[in-house]
Amino acid sequence: MNVVSKLLTAAAIFCASTLMAQADQVKVGIAAEPSPPFFSLDASGHWVGWEIEIINAICAEAKLDCVLTPVAWDGIIPSLTSKKIDVIMSGMSITEKRKKTIDFSDKYFSDSGYTIVGPKDVTMDATPEGLKGKILGIQVSTNAEVYASKHLKNSLAELKTYQTQDEAQQDLVAGRIDAWMASPIAVDSFLKTGGKTCCEIKGKVANDPKIMAAGVGAGLRKEDAQLKEKINAAIRGIRANGKYNEITKKYFDFDVYGE
């Protein structure tokens, strides 16, 4: 083989490997608004948290070149369908309504109902009667908002929505709302940090199987079956090899995966 042929062959191999690398690069959409302990920005501007570590573990297991891509939560599904991102991994509940537009991987943690949190010195419970006349805070465009709108809104003085969980938590601590509703995992983190002195759990709302999610999974375009299978295999892989539990124990003292 002459020098020219060798150079052409080397160039062809380089181009092929580059295309393969590009084909495996995946833009992972996360909400741009911090939501600890799942994801938040550290002092140096890097994304950290339980979900960030799980994303990194899944991508490593699947041999995907993942790039974290922050997107406003209320525009995250349009960003996926318009191909600005390739997958959503941002605490998105698997629901029948969302499945009409996008597909989901297997779950990578449980989203088992919703918890009401309020001030320690205020008596209330997690029922429409117990919340009568109260101002309830909730994150917008979430499954929890769907639940509250259906089951609680008529009893409330106001159902106040927020772009982020953090904003709702701040208003609860400041007394601008009477209660906050979120997933048990988000509540657990809040009561260990900013809400540990002021607030307590008032109860869990009643189950509604038509609204309650089947866990949290990676959101994907319906046509991306191959990427879905890679992510599913990676979720199974990190649970089997112990990486999932290794990460989880750093953040939680209870099982977040569920049955």
Q: Which domains, from first to last, does the chain contain?
A: 3-111+215-248 (3.40.190.10), 115-204 (3.40.190.10)
Q: Any bridge partners for residue 27, and if so which?
A: 67
- Positive or negative, the CA dihedral 138, 119, 257, 30 is positive
> pLDDT by residue for the chain (259 residues), tens digit each?
554 444 444 444 444 444 334 447 999 999 998 888 899 999 999 999 999 999 999 999 999 999 999 999 999 999 999 999 999 999 998 988 899 999 999 999 987 789 999 999 999 999 999 999 999 999 998 889 999 999 999 999 999 999 989 999 999 999 999 999 998 888 988 999 999 999 999 999 998 888 877 789 999 999 999 999 999 999 999 999 999 999 999 998 888 998 7
User: What order of strands is seen across the sheet that includes strand 216-220?
Assistant: 65-71, 25-31, 87-88, 216-220, 103-109
Q: Tell me the one-letter amino acid at 53.
A: E
Backbone angles phi, psi at 251, to 5 degrees: -120, -30
What's the CA gap between 71 and 146, in Å, rounded?
Answer: 21
**Pairing, β 179-182 against β 135-139:** parallel
State the pTM of this model. Answer: 0.73
What's the CA gap between 259 and 239, in Å, rounded?
Answer: 13
Distance of CA 121 to the CA centre of its chain: 31
* Nearest to 122, CA basis, from 203, 179, 56: 179
Instruction: Please tell me the number of Cα atoms within 13 Å of 189 on its side-chain side.
Output: 19
